Amino acid sequence: MSSRITDFSPLEHVLSPKYEVLGEEEKKELLKRCRIKPYNLPKILSSDPAVKALNANIGDVLKVTRHSETAGESIYYRLVVIE
């Protein structure tokens, strides 16, 4: 008997951080606040399971919120790029 996991969502896993796609205004505000261009952000590949689950497009900026018992909450930003 073959057991296949077909309904797995990478966004709902207990170890997965929270991912959000920033809107255009949020993206502009982030870049202005940090005084950077989009290409200065760390990258995340369009083939990443979280990017696919969010239906994010190339050029979108993702807000990644990680929770830790020792560090509390950490927020990171990633630019979606093609492979």
At residue 80, φ and ψ (nearest 5 deg) are -80, 125
Q: Is residue 39 part of a domain?
A: yes
With H, G, I as helix, E, B as strand and everything else as coil, classify residue 54. Answer: helix
Q: Is residue 1 part of a domain?
A: no
Domain count, the chain: 1
Q: Please provide the average confidence, as pLDDT, over all residues in the chain.
A: 88
What CATH number has the domain bearing residue 59? 3.90.940.20
**Amino acid in position 65:** T
User: Can you give the residue range of the structural domain that contains 74?
Assistant: 18-81
pLDDT in tens, 14-46: 667 899 999 999 999 999 999 999 999 999 999
Q: Is residue 8 part of a domain?
A: no
Residues 8 and 3: their CA atoms lie apart, in Å, by 13
- What's residue 7's pLDDT? 66
